[in-house]
Amino acid sequence: MVESLDQIFVSLKHALLGFVPGNWQALASAILSLLPIFVIFPTLFAITTLLERKGLGRIQNRYGPNRVGPFGLLQPAADGLKALTKEDVVPHAADKIVHFLAPVVLVIPVFLSFAVLPVGRNLVAVDMDAGLLFFFAVGAATELSVFMAGWSSRNKYALLGAMRAIAQMVSYEIPLILSSVGVVMIVGTLSPVKIVEAQGTYHGLLPDWFVFTPWGLAGFIIFMIAAAAESNRSPFDLPEGESEIIAGYFIEYSGFKFALFFLAEYLGMFAISGLGITLFLGGWHAPLQSLEVIPSWFWFFAKLVAIILVFIWIRGTVPRLRMDQLMNLAWKFMIPMVLINVVGAAVWHFMQPGLARWLVSIALVVGPYLWLGKSLFQSKHLAKRTYRFAE
């Protein structure tokens, strides 16, 4: 019973494949593997928009959407209809072809990146040997479409936003990739499926997830900070910066093209959170051995929703960074930190299990953190704020 519930989607696919004639099997198998990605994650996007508006509303002491349907539950449907029926305005001076292509080119790699994420036991669209590399490669392709959107609009705010977005994405891609290097070194493979399998054992009460090691915890935190920056989430939403460059690179987009940008941004956040779960949070494994009876795909989505809620919480709490602060954080703090963390993972791999390994590993995380933080703050010459008229 437990086994069948866990594998319900796999057996459903095999049952459906039974109706397909022999030489169409390969095509039908591919379609049946990919179709759920195109259904589930946009649905999750719709739910997340509502969740985000509700959550931000509660944080800011207001109700959030509550007019459409019971408790405002049908708000995403209303938003979708609105985006579809709005007039699609293209600026007169815009480069029409590139302006049209940019949102399309942005959405394709975002959907592609879900192909290698294992969302459950045996539930992965493409089990690739170099899956992690594939994920980062298609992620890198989104930068060009951001540039296309900003440049083709012929609007200085759009171009400024695109420049900011590219500078930010290029800078934060380095800590993002380097923080996953530790996991790759320990597991010895680039395949996400095997990385999840390596975290499947239980050690007493705690599972053997990489987040429960000193280097893994540091790597996970750096990964999630870089992930927030990669998906242009607050507090790293400078490319949008409503107060200074109004909406950044999608200022000249309206109607459904704007909705596509919105969709791509959220799906990118889901994909990169899913990768964080795969690398550090044990993928689809249950947090306790006794909870393994609950199907594996449930655990993946539970963790995904938990991370999304944390992102919403951060968005409602932390103010936006300034451009120089953004660059300083990436280049002066996160990259040295993550390089030391790679060494920390290697030390963890080669030392014998025991207390000494934990102490050395903790020292390799806490020491650089304190040292970097202290030296960076010293160069800032921060002083207590004094007021002339307010006091």
Partner 1 sequence: MTIAFAIVAILTIAASVAAMSLRNLIHCALAMAVAFGGIALLYLQLEAQFVGFAQILVYIGAVAILIVFAVLLTRGGEAPEKSVFSASWIWGALVTAAVFATLAWTIKNSFASQREPPANVEATVKQIGDSLMTKFVLPLEVVGLLLTAALIGAVIIAMRDESPKTKMEDGRSKMEKPSAPGGHP
Q: Which residues bind partner 1 (CB under 8 A)?
A: 95, 98, 128-130, 133-134, 136-141, 143-144, 147-148, 151, 166, 170, 173, 188-190, 380-383, 385-388
To the nearest whole angstrom, how small is the minimum distance from the Cβ of residue 136 to partner 1? 6
Q: Alpha-carbon distance 383 to 192, whole Å?
A: 47
What's the DSSP call for residue 239? Answer: T
State which residue, 149 or 312, has the beta carbon closest to partner 1: 149
To the nearest whole angstrom, how small is the minimum distance from the Cβ of residue 389 to partner 1? 8
- Nearest Cα to 183, choosing from 174, 172, 173, 195? 195
To the nearest whole angstrom, how small is the minimum distance from the Cβ of residue 261 to partner 1? 18
- Nearest Cα to 246, choosing from 155, 141, 126? 155
Asked if 254 contacts 88 with a C-beta cutoff of 8 angstroms, the reply is yes
Q: Which two tokens stand for residue 74?
A: 């049908």
With 0-12 / 13-18 / 19 or more C-beta atoms within 10 angstroms meaning exposed / middle / buried, residue 86 is middle
- Longest Cα pair distance anywhere in the chain, in angstroms? 82
To the nearest whole angstrom, how small is the minimum distance from the Cβ of residue 151 to partner 1? 6
To the nearest whole angstrom, how small is the minimum distance from the Cβ of residue 18 to partner 1? 28
Q: Alpha-carbon distance 207 to 280, whole Å?
A: 11
State which residue, 46 or 98, has the beta carbon closest to partner 1: 98
State which residue, 176 or 218, has the beta carbon closest to partner 1: 176
State which residue, 28 or 181, has the beta carbon closest to partner 1: 181
What's the DSSP call for residue 383? Answer: -
3-state SS class at 202: strand
207: enclosing H helix or E strand: strand 206-207
To the nearest whole angstrom, how small is the minimum distance from the Cβ of residue 124 to partner 1? 16
State which residue, 45 or 111, has the beta carbon closest to partner 1: 111
State which residue, 350 or 387, has the beta carbon closest to partner 1: 387
State which residue, 138 or 259, has the beta carbon closest to partner 1: 138
| DSSP-derived pairing of the beta strands 202-203 and 206-207 | antiparallel
**Distant-in-sequence, close-in-space partners of 235: CB < 8 Å, separation ≥ 6:** 228, 314, 315, 318, 319, 320, 321
Tokens 């963790």: give the residue.
303
| 3-state percent breakdown (helix, strand, coil) of the chain, nearest 5 | 70, 0, 25
State which residue, 203 or 384, has the beta carbon closest to partner 1: 384
Q: Alpha-carbon distance 95 to 139, whole Å?
A: 25
State which residue, 20 or 141, has the beta carbon closest to partner 1: 141
To the nearest whole angstrom, how small is the minimum distance from the Cβ of residue 144 to partner 1? 6
To the nearest whole angstrom, how small is the minimum distance from the Cβ of residue 231 to partner 1? 16
To the nearest whole angstrom, how small is the minimum distance from the Cβ of residue 184 to partner 1? 9
Asked if 118 contacts 4 with a C-beta cutoff of 8 angstroms, the reply is no
